[in-house]
Amino acid sequence: MAFCRLLFPLLVLSVASASTVPVFLWGDLSSSSGNSLKSNPLSTVSAQGFSEILNNELKDDPYVIVFLEETLSVEDFSRKNNEGDISIPYLYDNLSDALYLPSVEDASRVLEEVAKGAVHIKLTQNGLSAAIEDKNNRFMFIALKDAMEGESRYDLLRRHSNFMEDQISKLEKKGDVIAVYTARNPSWTIPDTHSRVRRQANSSVTNGPDYSLDGLRLYLTGVTLDHSNASVTFTNYAGGSSEYNTTTGVLNGTLNFDQGSLTLNFHRAAGYWFFDTVHFVQTNPAVDEILYATDDLNALLDFSYRCKQSVSFKSINETQEYKVSFIDIKVQPFFGPTNASTPFGDSFNCVGFFSAPIWSGLFVVFILLSITFYGIMTMMDIKTMDRFDDPKGKTITINAGE
């Protein structure tokens, strides 16, 4: 339990750098190096500092064995299974005689430089690649590369814990031994910086559904024209223009297609903007019609309109009826200068601000307040007795009128 209490804050506080790994040293360490209880989770040990620590520990020429994982981070030391068992109990047992460095820069590189000419052995699923010699060489690396397919992280670390215990117990009988447990890379990383980038698709003046004009944002997936029982889809958008009259508060945006041009007319009043008419002009055959909205199209200023999948504008000419439909429309006039990167405002979806649940809640609150008010008034109307019988005096007589 004490081991977990120690390593949990180290887990939280010492993972700020993605290029550092923890290092756990135990065995016949010098008394000046301290133990893991003095580790500082708020600081990172530099490569030079770690090299000085190793040189201090190796001055008596002990036998050094390095257990090198592929990945290791501080959270691995406190990892447990469903029964609450720790993944590396052997290190837990040696905690009092250990030096724990939760964040070390380039630990594997520094170990390689300090132990020049060391013996390198791999632990695979078939066992050790070579026998461990403790006489000819005093420095040995064992790369732990025996991960099995489908094996959990807990089972892998628990198996490595048993392996390290077995190897160290054999070497301790022959002299001073210092063991090092670390890795080449961290198993859990946190980026140095966090940034949130707002992404927006670039508008296209040829094929894109997002039409950007100065002072107007318009999203469409299609525009159709219905006339004389025939339907035509507007294609090949050739750009457009806009004009804003600051005196009248009217904004006109023109979209040019091969089939003709559409001028969208907006005006503002009383904190709202209104999309009233569309001016349709065609050269062949010649058409010049003002089309009126079949439904009210308006929203609050700084809001975009997104109520229907399709909105229509019709002419009032009884002989020649034209109907223009905007498919999957989202529109917002800004009544001022904008550019292609200006985003849409909040969407107005034609949903009332007071929905049915809100009205229901207000009704229930009103009923409860009425009951509370009635109860308080009833309590205030209670009259207590203000005259009492005196056993030694005359009996009080109360008239029926009182």
Distance, in Å, from the CA atom of 100 to the CA atom of 109, rounded to the nearest integer, reads 18
Task: Indicate whether 254 pLDDT > 80.
Answer: yes
Distance, in Å, from the CA atom of 243 to the CA atom of 216, rounded to the nearest integer, reads 10
For the entire predicted model, the pTM comes to 0.45
Task: Indicate whether 184 pLDDT > 60.
Answer: yes
Query: In this predicted structure, what is the pLDDT of residue 206?
Result: 38
Interval 66-90 mean pLDDT: 88
* Segment 298-335, tens digit of pLDDT: 888 989 998 877 899 998 876 778 899 999 899 999 98
Query: In this predicted structure, what is the pLDDT of residue 205?
Result: 40
Query: In this predicted structure, what is the pLDDT of residue 129?
Result: 81
Distance, in Å, from the CA atom of 291 to the CA atom of 261, rounded to the nearest integer, reads 13
Task: Indicate whether 279 pLDDT > 60.
Answer: yes
Q: Which one-letter DSSP state was computed for residue 14? A: S
For residue 253, the Cα-to-chain-centroid distance in whole angstroms is 38
Whole-number percent of the chain with pLDDT over 90: 20
Whole-number percent of the chain with pLDDT over 70: 84
Cβ contacts of 85 within 8 Å, gap of 6 or more: 158
Interval 89-111 mean pLDDT: 86
